[in-house]
Each structure stands twice: as C-alpha cells, then as structure tokens.
Amino acid sequence: MSASSAAVPDPTPPDLEKATAEERVRWAADTFGDRLVMTTSFGIQSAVMLHLATRVVPDIPVVFIDTGYLFAETYRFAQELTDRLKLNLKVYNASMSVTRLEALYGKLWEAEAGTKELENYKDITKREPMDRAVRELRIAAWLAGNRRSQSSTRANIPAVERQRKITKIYPIIDWDNRRVHRYLTEHQLPYHPLFEQGYVSVGDWHSTKKLEPGMTEEDTRGGAAKRECGLHEPGGRGDFSI
C-alpha cells in the first residue's frame, strides 16, 4: 500500500460510478495510501470483498467489529478466510462483555427500530469499537461490501460517500446476487456456512432469520430499519469523527 498518506484528500472522480470494482479499490489505495482499511462482518458473501480487495492491496488492514453476539459459524468462517487469504485482521470488541452489557442494560437488541435502547446497543457494540479503530489505525477511508440490491436503505447510495471525516468506498455497490455468485464460483470461494441452511444475510444471532417463503432479504434482519448495523448510518459516540 502506498505510504503517501500525510494529507487526506477528498476527491470523488466523476467516472467512479462507471468504474469496475477493481478500479474503485485501486483508486482508494492510490488516494488514501496506508490510511485505507476495509471492514468485514464475515457475512454470507464476505469472501468476495475480502478476496477482491486483497488481490489489489494484499496488506490492507481488515477491521472486524465483534459484537459478542455472532454465530459460532461466523467465528469459524472468519478464521477460515483469515488463514486462506492471509488477512491482516484487526479485531475490535465492545468495551464491555455481553454478560456485563445485559446485566447493566438488559437485552437492548430486543428494542424496536429507532428507539433509544436500540441505538444504545449499536453505540456500545458497533460504533464505539469502530471509533476506536478509526483513532488507533488513523483511518481516513474504508472499503465496505455494501450493495444497492441488499435493501431499500442502500438502494441509492453512491460508490463513494462521506460519513463525517471518513470517506467510504463501496467497490461492489452495483453488483447483484448473480454477479456475486459468479465471482465466488470463478475463484472457488465459499459462502458463509449458514447459507446452506437457508440464511441469505447474517449478523448477530439474535436478529438474523432464515429466508422463508414470502420474505425479502431485509425481513431476515428485522426489516430495513433494523438491517443497518450502525456503521453505515449516523449515530452517537463520535461516529468516526476523528
């Protein structure tokens, strides 16, 4: 990765929407140097972005926010991909254990979308650890695997956007499930193991369901309002405001 990263530019090339996924990754690496990271949840199709990005930038820091509520299969999948792709993995956990969190505040994740309780859950388990990663790794930009076809909340996001002081780049923003499947097949990459059990999206175990007849992908994560984990929406606790 380029080391020319003292100044943090904010250019958004007008043609980036028409660029390939690889070109978007290369632009991000050339623009932000060693202040570029990528994030992963080790979800159903995470192998795509991990493989694609590390082919262009092999040593890119990969930030994994571990809420403490992930499926056992997710942890094993994370280890498998870390070993296989030789990831430069950076794991960030909440500042308190799951046991302490529930003892002090109860099961915040049971709250309805938009409530103070659910936002507090996102703050503690996701936003605060990401803020810490931003400070410690001096992050100026990050790659994420968001796609417009995943949910209504992501349908109109651009290939590059700003969240306060962080530039976010979505290399596969315009890919659909067919294109994702083709990439996984071509490179002999695995889906998350729960895919074979009917899961099309995987997050915390308490808020993830199998896809049943009549459901959309959004429904498997509690609907559009609950699908967003907190890292891709405005929140509290600094919200990446280095």
In this predicted structure, the answer to whether residue 113 has a pLDDT above a threshold of 50 is: yes
Mean pLDDT is lowest, of 27-36, 143-152, 159-168, 170-179, for 143-152
The domains found in the chain, sorted by start residue, are: 16-227 (3.40.50.620)
**How many other CB atoms are there within 10 angstroms of residue 97's CB atom?**
11
Query: What is the edge-to-edge ordering of all strands in the sheet holding 160-163?
Result: 88-93, 61-66, 36-40, 141-143, 166-169, 160-163
SS3 206: helix
Stated pTM of the model = 0.85
Per-residue confidence (pLDDT) for residue 98, from 0 to 100: 94
In this predicted structure, the answer to whether residue 58 has a pLDDT above a threshold of 60 is: yes
Per-residue confidence (pLDDT) for residue 221, from 0 to 100: 73
Q: How far apart are CA 138 and CA 187, in angstroms?
A: 32
- Mean pLDDT of the region 111-124: 89
Burial 107-121 (b: 16+ CB within 10 A, else e): ebbebeeeeeebbbb
Per-residue confidence (pLDDT) for residue 220, from 0 to 100: 82
pLDDT band, residue 228 (cuts 50/70/90): very low
Per-residue confidence (pLDDT) for residue 227, from 0 to 100: 45
DSSP calls for 224-242: HHHH--STTS--STTSS--
Q: How far apart are CA 101 and CA 7, in angstroms?
A: 39
Per-residue confidence (pLDDT) for residue 232, from 0 to 100: 53
In this predicted structure, the answer to whether residue 156 has a pLDDT above a threshold of 90 is: no
- What value does the mean pLDDT of the chain take? 86
Residues in the chain: 242
Q: How far apart are CA 85 and CA 78, in angstroms?
A: 11
- Mean pLDDT of the region 53-82: 97
Residue 40, Cβ density class (10 Å: 0-12 exposed, 13-18 middle, ≥19 buried): buried
Of 159, 143, 148, 163, the closest CA to residue 46 belongs to 143
Per-residue confidence (pLDDT) for residue 219, from 0 to 100: 81
Q: Hey, which residues are catalytic here? A: 229
H helical segments located in the chain: 21-32, 46-56, 72-85, 98-105, 116-122, 128-137, 177-186, 224-227
Give percent of the chain above pLDDT 90: 64
Of 202, 131, 216, the closest CA to residue 122 belongs to 131
70-111 tens-digit pLDDT: 999 999 999 999 999 999 999 999 999 999 999 999 999 899
